[in-house]
Structure 1
Amino acid sequence: MAQRIDVKDLNIYYRDFLAVQDVSMSIEPRSVTAFIGPSGCGKSTFLRTLNRMHEVIPGARVEGTVEMEGVDLYGDDVDPVAVRRSIGMVFQRPNPFPTMSIRDNVLAGVKLNNKRISKSDADDMVESSLRGANLWNEVKDRLDKPGSGLSGGQQQRLCIARAIAVKPQVLLMDEPCSALDPISTLAIEDLIHELKKDYTIVIVTHNMQQAARVSDRTAFFNIAGTGKPGRLIEMNDTATIFSSPAEKATEDYVSGRFG
């Protein structure tokens, strides 16, 4: 189920502005890769290119290649909707559909893809997705209640359940805990550990301790100054990045000397 992603010589533009320059990396399946770096260095922009969310912004484009198991996701014959089905996204703030029930939130992506599904299959999918997001026991008796009635941490896990219901190969998470309290953050981190058994996970985080706790590999992005493009400075096993990075800028950032 989990898939490998290879990025080569990727440049990301907003019209004529080069936002992220010359990124190459490999993201291993069944692992957690964390992107760290100061605000404005292109972490989230780069994350969105991995499932072609970047190009929904007018004037946004990329040069270079993003391949999943050897298939160029930006190839002329590749459907961007199919890419986003294979590579799910969980956003910074929990965004369940407020007028939908918990059950309908889980099924939203499946229905959006025009998949006809029997009630029994839908029931199974709702339960398995909510179990996968460690939320089933908390909501199984109120599936018909609005998703917006859950706590912030529960809403974020509901969004994760919605993402995994369509059976993606990769899960992208853009600062999934930044709006959550410490207990909810711990629940999401525990969930990430569970999910990596079945998915390739990429997470953007400003929290150094979180990156150290949840990720197998860490990529450090930086920016030379206002108006300059973000760049990948260094990528390695997380333990190495935090204990003996190769670049001084990485060491300064993870030790809290800037950023």
Structure 2
Amino acid sequence: MSKSIDVTDLNVYYGDFLAVEGVSLHIPPRSVTAFIGPSGCGKSTFLRTLNRMHEVIPGARVEGQVMLDGDDLYAAGVDPVAVRRSVGMVFQRPNPFPTMSIKENVLAGVRLNNKRMSRSDADALVEKSLRGANLWNEVKDRLDKPGSGLSGGQQQRLCIARAIAIEPQVLLMDEPCSALDPISTYAIEELIARLKTEYTIVIVTHNMQQASRVSERTAFFNIAGTGKPGKLIEYDDTATIFTTPTEQATEDYVSGRFG
């Protein structure tokens, strides 16, 4: 049950510093949307506002609206933990829990949400999630071994399995391939193509070829200079952004003239 996201006039602050200014966009369900732009332009910061991870940093806050299928994620009384259950996140560096087995890593989020489940239900969920992350065949004979014993690419897929085990509707990915080799990157990109049939996926990437390969829509963020807020410059179908963008800054970035 994937959902659309509608953001209106979003400003993101760290204390008094305005990090991202005036973002409005619609992210359609069951699709991949890529955020691109130079370092420090606010794309990862903005991504983290979509599941309220941003506010775990002291002094961080937002103004504006983030709607998940019409529900305001920042409305009074909304539990951020519940938001993070429906909007999962995969980080830049694979971060399996080192002391936990592969199986326990997959179940970590579910157990955190105090879901009691029978052993057979847990086993079924582990298999389903690892199959969903295209990792099952590689690890099914060593589910009780530590997750930290896997390769970097496998660890990242384990983190994706952990994220989808809690059955979110949206999956946020913050540069999920930046620490990976080309073969592992290809495996993750193939996985993203499969997952979008069930989830709304938003990916931050520095790799322009990756954005053009995996996404239907692309948002280009930019920054006027150090200490200035990041802004959404252009948002359109990926093919349009990479071939006939409206803004000169977008064209300069995607053609490699800066950034």
Q: Which of the five TM-score ranges fits, normalised by the shorter chain? A: over 0.9
TM-score (norm 2): 1.00
Question: What's the counterpart of residue 227 of structure 1?
Answer: 227
Give matches, 1:43-192, under 5 Å. 43-192=43-192
Q: Distance between the aligned counterparts of 2:70 and 2:88, measured in 1?
A: 19
Q: 2:116, 2:141 → 1: CA distance?
A: 25
The root-mean-square deviation of aligned C-alpha atoms, in Å, is 0.3
Determine the structure 2 residue equivalent to 1:203: 203
Write the letter of the residue equivalent to 1:134.
N
- Aligned to 2:222, the other structure's residue is in SS state strand
Residue equivalent to 2:42:
42
Aligned length in residues: 259
Q: Could you list the per-position Cα deviations for residues 33-89 of structure 1 after superposition, in whole angstroms to 9, with x for gaps in the alignment?
A: 000000000000000000000000000000000000110000002110000000000
Residue type at the aligned position of 1:187: A
- Give 2:4's aligned residue: 4
Q: Structure 2: which 5+ residue stretches go unaligned?
A: none
Identity of paired residues, percent?
83
The aligned residue for residue 246 of structure 1 is 246
The one-letter code sitting in structure 2 at the alignment partner of 1:140 is K
Equivalent position amino acid for 2:122 in 1: A
Distance 2:211 2:150 in 1: 26
CA distance in 1, matches of 2:87, 2:93: 18
| Runs of 4 or more above 4 Å deviation | none
**2:21 corresponds to which letter in structure 1?**
Q
User: What amino acid sits opposite 2:7 in the alignment?
Assistant: V
Counterpart of 2:79, as a letter, is: D
Question: 1:115-139 CA deviation, whole Å, 9 max, x = no partner?
Answer: 0000000000000000000000000
Q: Deviations over 1:77-106 (max 9, x none)?
A: 211000000000000000000000000000
**For residue 236 of structure 2, what is the aligned residue in structure 1?**
236
Q: Deviations for 1:192-248, whole angstroms, at most 9, x for unmatched residues?
A: 000000000000000000000000000000000010000000000000000000000
- Cα distance in 2 for partners of 1:247, 1:69 equals 30
Shift in Å at residue 4 of structure 1? Answer: 0.4
Secondary structure, aligned partner of 1:245 = coil
**Structure 2 letter corresponding to 1:111:** R
- TM-score of the superposed pair, with normalisation by structure 1: 1.00
The gaps in structure 1 that reach 5 residues or longer are none
**How far, CA to CA, are the matches of 1:22 and 1:187 in structure 2?**
35
Letter in 1 for 2:183: I
